Structure 1
Amino acid sequence: MATKNNDGNGSGNDGGSKPLPGIDDVPLTTASIARLFDGCKIVLFDCDGVLVDSEPISLATLVDVLDHFGAPLTLEEVAERFTGRSSSAPIDHIRALTGQDVGAQFKPFFYQKLFARYETELFSIRNIDAVLDALKQRAIAFCISSSSSVERLEKTMRVTGLGPWFEDRIYSADFVRNGKPAPDLFLHACADMGHAPASTIVIEDSVAGVKAAVAAGMKCIGFVGGGHYAGQEEIAANRLYDAGADIVISDMAVLVAALGS
C-alpha cells in the first residue's frame, strides 16, 4: 500500500509549513482559517492534487497519450488546459486538431499507462489522513467530488489506502452531465449527502474546480501543495484566488491545526 506519512515520507511536494497570504496579501492565521469552518456541515474533496499527489503522473502520461494520437502539447500546455477537467477535454482537443473521434479508445489507452505508474508512484498528500481524522472528530461529514471517472477513483483509493475513509461517499464527473467548472457535480454530491450548499466547503487545486464551487454557492479552500505546483505555489495561489477561493494553503497541516483549535 502506497501512502505518504505525516513525517513527509513519499514522493511529491511537501509544501510549506505555513498558509499562504490571503486576499490582498493579508496573512492567514489558524484562527482565520478556523472561522471558515463556522457552520460547516460537509467538506467536498477534489481527489487529484488534493487527496493524492497524482497530477504530475497524470499530466506526464497525458503528454505521451496526446502525442500518440497526433495532437501533441507541452507539459505546460497540458497542465494549463486540462488540470481539473474530465477526460472529455483532451478527447475534444484531439478531435479538433486531427479530426479523429477517439472517444472509445482514449480512456483504455490512457488508463493502461496511468495505472501502471500508479502502482509505484502514487502517494496520498502529506497530512491528509490527519485532516480526515480531524473532520471526523468534529462530526463534519466529507466526501470525494472529483472530475475523475469511477474506475480511476477506485484505483486511486485502492493504491493509496484512502478508501476506508470514504467508503461509498465518492462522487465522479461520470454522475453528471456537465463537469467542472459547471457546479453540477458539487451540487449533486451535496444534495445526495443531505446538506445545503451554504454549509459546504470545497477543497480544490484547480481553477475549474474553484469556479465550480463558487458557482455552486459554496466556500472554497484552494490547495497548492501538490507536486504539480512545486516551485510555483504563489503563482498558482493567485490563480485560485482570482477564480474565487476564500483562502489558499500549501500544507494540509494548517487545516489540522485550524480544525483542532
Structure 2
Amino acid sequence: MKRNFDLVIFDCDGVLMDSEKVSARVVAADMTEHGVPITPEAAMARFVGMSLKHMKPLIEAERGAPLPADWNARMIQKIALAMSHEVTEIPGARAVLESLDREGIPWRIASNSADAEMDAKFTRTGFLAITEGRTHSAPRLFAQGGQPKPAPDVFLDAARAQGVPPHRCVVIEDSAPGVAGAVAAGMTCYGFAPHGEGSTLLAAGATGIIRTLDAVPALLDARVAA
C-alpha cells in the first residue's frame, strides 16, 4: 500500500506520556531550593520541550551563580524517581502504537529525556515491552557531539536506525522546540495540541494540528494530503 510516510516518530513527553506536569513540579522545587522561586505552572510554561542541558544556563543566569557540577545527573535521577511513581499515559497512546504495529507501520520515539527517565515512564505505564529498542534520547548522543531539540540530531538518529530518509518521516510533537527540530531534520511535523489551538506549533513550522492520537494513522494515508 502506498503511504505518505514510511516512519512515524513520536515525541515522548506530552505526546505519549502525560509527564510534563510531573517534570515541571520537580524542576520548580529544585529551582526554589537553589534560590530561584518559581511555581510548577511557570516552570512548565517556560521550559516545556526544553532539555536540561539548555535549561541549566538559563537558571544559572537568573540565579547569578553556577549550579552544582552534577546538577544534570541529579535532576535526571529526581525526575526519573518522580516518573516511576506518578506518570500516566496520554489517552490513546498505547492504542495508536498497537494500531501501527498491526498495520506493519514502523514507529520510533525521539525525546530530549535521558534514557533513565524514559525507562521510568515506560516501566510505570507498562509500555516498556513495546518501546524497547525504539527509543532515541538526545542525551545519549551528547558524547558523539549531538545536541538536543531544537537541533535535528535525535530525529535523524531515529530515521537512520530505521533506514528511512528524513522526507519520508512524519513527526508528532507538542512543543515548539520539538517542531523546530523535526523541520530542521527535513521531516514533516504535526503538532499535537489536545487542549489548545496549537498556534505556537504552527509558528514553529508544524504542517498542521491534531487533537487526538487516533488521528495519526490517517496522516499516513496516501489519499490524505501531507
TM-score (norm 1): 0.75
Distance 1:133 1:59 in 2: 29
- Corresponding residue of 2:109: 144
Summarize deviations over 1:220-257 as a string: whole Å, max 9, x none: 121123xxxx5xx12xx111111111121222133356
User: Are 1:239 and 2:204 an aligned pair?
Assistant: no
After superposition, residues 97-246 of structure 1 pair within 5 angstroms as: 97-109=63-75, 111-112=77-78, 114-176=79-141, 177-225=146-194, 230=195, 233-234=196-197, 237-246=198-207
Aligned residues: 216
CA contact (8 A) 1:206 1:240 kept: yes
For structure 1, the residue ranges without an aligned partner over 5 or more in a row are 1-36
CA contact (8 A) 2:83 2:117 kept: no
CA contact (8 A) 1:175 1:185 kept: no
Closer/same/farther in 2, CA of residues 257 and 181 from structure 1, 3 Å limit = closer
CA contact (8 A) 1:70 1:98 kept: no
Closer/same/farther in 2, CA of residues 94 and 257 from structure 1, 3 Å limit = closer
Aligned-residue RMSD, C-alpha: 2.2
Distance 1:252 1:204 in 2: 11
Closer/same/farther in 2, CA of residues 217 and 125 from structure 1, 3 Å limit = same
TM-score (norm 2): 0.86
Amino acid at match of 1:148: S
- Structure 1 residue 148, shift from structure 2 partner: 0.1
Distance 2:5 2:64 in 1: 47
Taking every aligned residue pair, what percent have the same amino acid on both sides?
A: 33
Distance 2:40 2:88 in 1: 21
Amino acid at match of 2:187: M
User: Are 1:255 and 2:216 an aligned pair?
Assistant: yes
CA contact (8 A) 1:47 1:144 kept: yes
Distance 1:201 1:85 in 2: 21
- Corresponding residue of 1:8: none
For structure 2, the residue ranges without an aligned partner over 5 or more in a row are none
Summarize deviations over 1:179-207 as a string: whole Å, max 9, x none: 11111111122112211001101111100
- 4+ aligned runs moved over 6 Å, structure 1: 257-261
Summarize deviations over 1:70-116 as a string: whole Å, max 9, x none: 1233444422331111111222123223322324034325633x344
Amino acid at match of 2:191: G
CA contact (8 A) 1:87 1:107 kept: no
Summarize deviations over 1:6-60 as a string: whole Å, max 9, x none: xxxxxxxxxxxxxxxxxxxxxxxxxxxxxxx933111111111011100111112
Closer/same/farther in 2, CA of residues 73 and 90 from structure 1, 3 Å limit = farther
- Corresponding residue of 1:15: none
